[in-house]
Amino acid sequence: MSSLTVHGITKSFAATPVLTGVDLHVPEGSFIALLGPSGCGKTTLLRLIAGFDDPDSGTVVLGERVVAGGGRSVPARRRGIGFVPQEGGLFPHLTVAGNISFGLPRGQRRDGVRVRELLELVGLHAALAERSPHQLSGGQQQRVALARALAPRPSLVLLDEPFSSLDAALREETRVAVSAALTATGATAVLVTHDQAEALSMADQVAVLRGGRLVQLTDPRTLYRRPGDLDVATFVGEAVVLDAKLRGGLASSALGELPYEAAAVAVPDGPARILLRPEQLRLAAPRPDGPTARVRSVDYYGHDSRVWLDLPGGVRVSARLDGADLPAAGDDVSITVRGTALAFPAGATASEPVA
């Protein structure tokens, strides 16, 4: 496996800029997720790394080998990269074994040892080797696609939203199997996704793209707990964003006075915006010494629930609670906050969270 270094990559289609100076380093053996909304440039970046397109400027380096930029463009087939497309892309006329061994030397194709190793690695029974792709479930097809990508021992594995067509239960099962297989091989891997849970649960590092730029690169826990700006905060998870006034280490808001930390930059006393995660909010019976709210609605998910709350002054927030002892719509509740808020400058803006 090799490291991947992308430096100063730009790409436009006609007069539309798609990537505007992206720098990214993926250490050997690590797993990074490219996360961002549709149209942010993440799939274009993956295609430039794979060699399906050429950058307008900048370089792509695998290990110490420049494969794009600086007057060079190594064809995709010679880059030593394994690619797992969105729909698996299996050859329908070949068996599972034929698909996995497609890029192997003839001797390894004949003895079948590598095929059996890879089926075991991705959690599939050897008996599936002679089946056709249409006889497999969607999750099994994606695992076969990964096995095919890993078969020639590539220097880098690229995965382009490989679980997006699967239902929720199968998606979780398949990504666990894929993650385990990549870890077992020590693969250097890059995953493109717009699914926040997928990125946070699978990757060592998450690179957030927005408008063709890399806006934050960090580990999943830091990304969730200390997002670089409010747009990142609302994209990587549900968020409670409130206007506040900072003074003496406390943020005065619709939820009362809360301890806070500055986010990416220092925020002076005065007007600001604060961020809380819905799981930080705790609800109890109304009491006179704390902020109260009225329950607008409850979204029940079984393992937990989201409670929508109307605060005085027309402010609406959500709390994330476990599935037991939930309030009902129309109830009045008091709110306490666990932990600290993150403070951002007063002019900071955030995308609307998905309800």
Mean pLDDT across 172-185: 88
For helices 113-121 and 138-150, what crossing angle results, to 10°? 130
Nearest-10 Cα torsion for 129, 135, 138, 144? 20
Q: Give the chain's mean pLDDT.
A: 90
Which bin fits 14, alpha (ψ -120 to 50), beta or left (φ > 0)?
Answer: left
State the pLDDT confidence band at 348, using cuts at 50, 70 and 90. Answer: low
- Comparing CA positions, the residue from 245, 211, 247 lying closest to residue 229 is 211
138 and 165 in contact (C-beta within 8 Å)? yes
Mean pLDDT across 51-80: 92
Assess whether pLDDT exceeds 50 at residue 311.
yes
Q: What percent of the chain has pLDDT over 90?
A: 63
- Kindly tell me the burial class for residue 21, based on how many C-beta atoms sit within 10 Å of its own C-beta (0-12, 13-18, 19 or more): middle
For 259-277, what is each residue's pLDDT tens digit? 999 887 788 999 999 999 9
Assess whether pLDDT exceeds 90 at residue 166.
no
* pLDDT of the residue at 103: 79
For 2-59, what is each residue's pLDDT tens digit? 899 999 999 999 889 999 999 999 999 999 999 998 889 999 999 999 999 999 999 9
Instruction: Please write down the HEC assignment for all residues of 21-46.
Output: EEEEEECCCCEEEEECCCCCCHHHHH
Q: Bridge-partner residues for 57, per DSSP?
A: 10
Q: Which of 99-103, 169-173, 254-258, 313-317 has the lowest mean pLDDT?
A: 169-173
Q: What is the pTM of this model?
A: 0.87
* pLDDT of the residue at 347: 74
State the pLDDT confidence band at 354, using cuts at 50, 70 and 90. Answer: very low
DSSP 8-state secondary structure symbol assigned to residue 85: -
Handedness of CA 123, 128, 131, 135 (dihedral sign): negative
DSSP 8-state secondary structure symbol assigned to residue 2: -
State the pLDDT confidence band at 351, using cuts at 50, 70 and 90. Answer: low
For 198-210, what is each residue's pLDDT tens digit? 999 999 999 999 9
Domains of the chain and any CATH numbers: 4-225 (3.40.50.300), 239-345 (2.40.50.140)
Assess whether pLDDT exceeds 80 at residue 1.
no
Task: Count other Cβ atoms within 10 Å, centred on residue 94.
Answer: 15
55 and 11 in contact (C-beta within 8 Å)? yes
Q: How many residues does the chain have?
A: 355
The residue assigned the tokens 């797992």 is 84
* pLDDT of the residue at 172: 87
- Comparing CA positions, the residue from 188, 292, 211, 229 lying closest to residue 39 is 211
Q: What is the DSSP string of 53-66?
A: S--SEEEEEETTEE
DSSP 8-state secondary structure symbol assigned to residue 328: -
Host H or E run for residue 345: strand 341-345
* pLDDT of the residue at 352: 46
How many Å apart are CA 162 and CA 182, to the nearest integer? 14
How many Å apart are CA 211 and CA 122, to the nearest integer? 35
State the pLDDT confidence band at 71, using cuts at 50, 70 and 90. Answer: confident
* pLDDT of the residue at 263: 83
Mean pLDDT across 234-254: 93
Host H or E run for residue 272: strand 270-276
State the pLDDT confidence band at 158, using cuts at 50, 70 and 90. Answer: very high
